[in-house]
Structure 1
């Protein structure tokens, strides 16, 4: 029997990323807010701020506060650079 969809079905099996993972609840629903360097989880509604000093290891890192290029993981230890506000 022929496939009536007419398209390639490879894309259906791959999960699409939903967003950044929330450090509070662990779900991928962290979204940037209107303020630079601030995030809010759509799932648990906690607010977070991006810091330049890692709360886990204390390593200082340069941060980019633009939402499209923000790195929320410490380059030294791999911990979260987000602190709950």
Structure 2
């Protein structure tokens, strides 16, 4: 689980770190939209699936939350599983 991020710099740093340690591909399954809210359902070529929820105001994302199986992701990418995931 990742703690909530606040601010553009924190978000950029997270993506910089995470994209450097694994090969990530997101293929869009579907996008649903209702007013300020949008939902993205995705998959990757290796079988991982997930979804993201976005609240958009004035053309900017003001809230985002995503769900996927991090344990499967770590194993799929050959990354060490943090001890906190196994305890």
- TM norm structure 2: 0.29
Q: Which has the higher helix share?
A: 2
Larger Rg: 1
Give me the TM-score of the superposition, normalised by structure 1: 0.29
Q: Choose between structure 1 and 2: higher strand proportion.
A: 2
- Work out which structure has the larger RCO, using CA pairs closer than 8 Å and 6 or more positions apart in sequence: 1
